[in-house]
Structure formats: C-alpha cells, structure tokens
Homo-oligomer: A and B are copies of this chain.
Amino acid sequence: MQSELRGSEIPVMTKSPRRPSVATKPGAPVFRFRMRITDGDAIAVGPGKIALLEAIDKTGSITAAAKTLDMSYRRAWLLLDDLNRSMRIPAIDTAQGGVKGGGSVLTDAGREMIVLYRRIEQQAASACRRDIMQVMEMLVR
C-alpha cells in the first residue's frame, strides 16, 4: 500500500527507503524534503515517528521495529505514546499479553498517516522539480 507511493516522476536516489530524495546522478548531492508538524516546541509528527510506524507495520512489534531502527525500546515506546496522544484516533493498537505475548498493529488512522506523509513528500518533490534541479546545478559535483 505504501510502496506504490514511493515511486516518483523525478530522478530519485533513495539511500534509505524512508526518505525520498532527488539526485541528478549517483554520488551527486542529494535533495531531501523533511516535514514536521510541531505543536509548541514538541514535534507531533516527523520523519522519526513515520519511520517507526512503517517498521511496526512491517515487523508487527515495537521491539522488532525499534531494533530495525537502531533505537531503544524505551525511546520507541515514548515516541509512539507521544504520537498516539497527538492524534484524535491512536496510530497504534498494542495488544496486551495473548498467545504470542502481545504485539502491535497499526490502526487505520496509523496507516492513513503514513500514506499521507509519504504522498506529501512525493508531491512536493514533483511540484518543485524544476527549482530543485536549478539549485542542484549551482552546486559543485
């Protein structure tokens, strides 16, 4: 569902699957958009939380997702708790106990947040393609 949003009409060199970027050729400078929604000084939604949601969607648990992102379980848990509090409908549904000792799944709202966030990145890069290329051409290769 997310992967179809990762394609782009513009030349893209993706160092990490979670950050669409624009490069004129491999090894050249790379352009990246990053979006954050801040609430006062706090970051309500940003690249770290979105990457975490994606990792949970893939692995099915906070522990595994945190490992994937080289992050402590504690930090992952705090980020998710923070995100859930920022959203009208929580992004993550964490099962307590159960046969497999619990696990975490994205809610529909969580999935929608990922899709929108990634689509915004792609749209922004497409819309600004010409100016981005112009900036890139001003740089030493």
The oligomer's copy count stands at: 2
B44, B116, B123, B135: the one within 8 Å of A120 (CB): B135
Measured between beta carbons, the chain B residues less than 8 angstroms from A87 are 138-140
**In the A-B complex, the 8 residue pairs with the closest CB atoms:** A127-B127, A124-B124, A29-B39, A120-B128, A123-B128, A120-B131, A29-B37, A116-B135
Measured between beta carbons, the chain B residues less than 8 angstroms from A34 are 33-36
Q: A33–B117 contact, CB under 8 A?
A: no
Measured between beta carbons, the chain B residues less than 8 angstroms from A33 are 33-35, 124
Mark A109-132 against chain B: 1 for CB-CB distance below 8 A, else 0. 100110011011001101110011
With A31-B35, A38-B32 as given contacts, are A45 and B139 in contact (CB-CB < 8 Å)?
A: yes
A: residues with CB less than 8 A from B are: 29-39, 44-45, 85-89, 109, 112-113, 116-117, 119-120, 123-124, 126-128, 131-132, 134-136, 138-140
Provide 27 A-B residue pairs closer than 8 Å at the C-beta atoms, listed in order of the A residue. Answer: A29-B37, A29-B38, A29-B39, A29-B86, A30-B38, A30-B39, A31-B35, A32-B38, A34-B35, A37-B139, A44-B139, A85-B140, A86-B139, A87-B139, A87-B140, A88-B138, A88-B140, A89-B138, A109-B138, A112-B138, A116-B131, A116-B135, A120-B128, A123-B127, A123-B131, A124-B124, A124-B128
